[in-house]
Amino acid sequence: MVCSETVHHEADIPAALAAGVPVFSEKPLAGSARAAHCLAEQAEESGVLLHTGYFLRTIPALQTARDWITRGRLGVVTEARMRFSHDGGYADWLDLDCWMTDPGRACYDGFVDEAVHVIDALNWMIGPVHAGHAVTGNALGWPVDDHGAALLHLANGAIGLVEAGWTDTRMRLELDVVGATAAISLRDGEMTLTPRGASAPAERLRLDPLDAGTGILPFLDALDGRRAPALVPAAEAARVNAVLDDLGLRLT
């Protein structure tokens, strides 16, 4: 398990891969798109498992949302909005007096700390994310920004909006995906699928409590030879870094 400061991933992960040791890496995969791409290439060439802990893929409701989208139940997706944020900047459960607020070690800011999960989820559910424009803000006074938003172009032509950070009033995961024939909405722990023009949802699902620890489960399943549909291929984890750098969010 590589849980070191992001800047050290570039040295820690190759050492494990070179030794033939499967790697679970905390997110993001590396401190730059260049480094992440090199790690993904090394994992591919060596055949050694490299998984990054983007845990939103493990949430059953979001797996269902992805299934609805890939099966065409929304028609052509035209827009998506996703928010993943929490109150850690104001609450006492997140200690920010550490490397996470040191630009040289974190490589990215507090917006990115949560936004990476959203960018990966959009890649996974809808398709590749292309660069757009990001705006970040600083409410807490640390040397890194702590919240923000990004407007993205997706490969299929859809527009995506990412909202994330440490300054919310609570832990919050929200999703809206709008298509030609239906829309998905996730609010307050309930996800719905509503056909265009319908007065009520056709389907409803409750969201399980959020637990970032589930991000390691696909890695463990893969090690044990079990099916692991939520596994994050190294190339897809590197793509998240590419989006971050294209948005100008790399700090070092």
Q: Residue 190 maps to which CATH number?
A: 3.30.360.10
Average pLDDT taken over every residue of the chain: 97
220 in a domain, yes or no? yes
What residues of the chain score a pLDDT lower than 50?
A: none
The Cα 68–Cα 1 span in angstroms is: 33
The Cα 220–Cα 116 span in angstroms is: 22
pLDDT in tens, 43-66: 999 999 999 999 999 999 999 999
The Cα 154–Cα 240 span in angstroms is: 13
pLDDT in tens, 135-173: 999 999 999 999 999 999 999 999 999 999 999 999 999
Question: Residue 202: what pLDDT?
Answer: 98
Question: Residue 194: what pLDDT?
Answer: 98
CA R_g for the chain: 18
Question: Residue 44: what pLDDT?
Answer: 97
**Number of domains the chain contains:** 1
Range of the domain at 117: 55-246
Alpha helices (H) in 1-154, listed in sequence order? 9-18, 33-46, 60-70, 103-106, 110-125
20 in a domain, yes or no? no
